[in-house]
């Protein structure tokens, strides 16, 4: 289970893998904005660009499927909700349900695509970047905010800790669940009210354990000299020619996207 949800992916070699994580984070933000700005005309352009990025990430159709699988149901649901409940020109009608409209189909298709495209964009970032690189990049990106006394160092460490301890908490949750099973809980056919009650207890136990762990962790970090003040990082990020090329490609694509919006 922890392996499945491991935050420490081991991205294989690919052109996108080699791009500086800061550039990838900025690109993810820019692409997310473009996805929300896209009308039906720009969807094709953005889809092509995302397909190209998938190829450059070293992932294929299988990887795309893996990213999209968890959200497939919600995408389909979004599509149908819009198709059925958006007023407009009727295309066909179904028994009991409201009529499917042309505007509804277009809007449903756009929203479902936006949802899927956002997930693919985020997936590309995590697929080609180690969590530690993401944290290092976040640290660099947020650093200017220190001028406004924003504790960026603490924020970055919090993100790092959250990523680090996600698999540990999953392991702990599994342990608690197994302990419950070993004592006769979770028998098939259990009533819903009982199931909810037990889940609540599990959640409280997990939260208490997380709090204890957080306290121990804070002591361990302090013992190793963690405090506000000057720090360095083992992972020094520096932009190279490839990164500048990636920025140029992103800027050109953004220009092309808005040009399309103006003229299409």
Partner 1 sequence: MIEFKEVSYQYGERRPPVLERLSLRIPDGQYVVIIGPNGCGKTTLSKHLNALLIPSRGEVSVDGLNTRDPSGHRELRRRVGMVFQNPDHQIVGMTVAEDIAFGLENLAVPPGEIAIRVRDALARVEMAGCEQRAPFTLSGGEKRLVSLAGVLVMNPRWLVLDEPTAYLDAAGRRLVLAMIASLHREGMGIVHITHDLGEAADAERILVLERGRVIMDGPPGDVCAFLMSETQWEIEAPAMAALMAKLRRSGWDVPVNVISLEAAHREIHDYLVKIAGRGASS
Binding site for partner 1 (CB under 8 A): 2, 6-8, 10, 130-132, 135, 160-161, 163-164, 167-168, 171, 213, 216-217, 219-227, 229-236
CA–CA distance from 17 to each of 125, 206, 242 (Å)? 9, 35, 11
Residue closer to partner 1 by CB (options 99, 205) is 205
Q: Residue 73 contacts by C-beta under 8 Å, 6 or more apart in sequence?
A: none
- Non-local (6+) Cβ contacts of 122 within 8 A are 28
Q: Using the minimum distance from each CB to partner 1, give the nearer residue, 112 or 134.
A: 134
The distance of closest approach from Cβ of residue 173 to partner 1 in the complex, given in angstroms and rounded to an integer, is: 13
∠ CA 203-131-38, rounded to 5°: 95
Least distance CB 26 / partner 1 (angstroms): 22
Q: Which is nearer to partner 1, 10 or 147 (CB)?
A: 10
| Smallest distance from partner 1 to CB 55, Å | 26
Q: Compute the least distance from the CB of residue 124 to partner 1, in Å.
A: 20
Distances in whole angstroms, Cα of residue 129 to Cα of each of 64, 73, 230: 16, 27, 26
Give 94 or 238: the residue with its C-beta nearer to partner 1: 238
Euclidean distance between CA atoms 203 and 139, whole angstroms: 31
């Amino acid at each position: 289970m922890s392996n499945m949800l491991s935050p420490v992916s081991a991205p294989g070699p690919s052109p996108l893998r080699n791009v500086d994580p800061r550039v990838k984070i900025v690109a993810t933000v820019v692409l997310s904005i473009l996805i929300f700005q896209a009308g039906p005309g720009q969807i094709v352009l953005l889809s092509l660009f995302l397909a190209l990025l998938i190829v450059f990430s070293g992932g294929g159709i299988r990887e795309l499927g893996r990213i999209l699988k968890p959200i497939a149901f919600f995408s389909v649901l979004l599509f149908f909700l819009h198709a059925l409940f958006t007023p407009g020109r009727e295309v066909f009608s179904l028994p009991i349900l409201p009529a499917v409209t042309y505007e509804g189909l277009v809007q449903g298709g756009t929203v479902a695509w936006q949802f899927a495209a956002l997930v693919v964009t985020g997936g590309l970032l995590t697929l080609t970047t180690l969590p530690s690189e993401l944290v290092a990049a976040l640290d660099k990106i947020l650093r200017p905010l220190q001028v406004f006394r924003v504790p960026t160092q603490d924020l970055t460490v919090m993100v790092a800790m959250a990523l680090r301890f996600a698999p540990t908490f999953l392991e702990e949750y599994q342990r608690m669940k197994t302990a419950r099973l070993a004592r006769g809980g979770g028998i098939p056919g259990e009533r819903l009210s009982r199931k909810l009650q037990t889940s609540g207890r599990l959640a409280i136990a997990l939260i208490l354990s997380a709090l204890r762990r957080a306290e121990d962790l804070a002591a361990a970090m302090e013992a190793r000299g963690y405090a506000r003040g000057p720090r360095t990082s083992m992972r020094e990020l520096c932009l190279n020619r490839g990164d500048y090329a990636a920025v140029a490609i992103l800027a050109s694509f953004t220009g092309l996207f808005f040009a399309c919006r103006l003229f299409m």
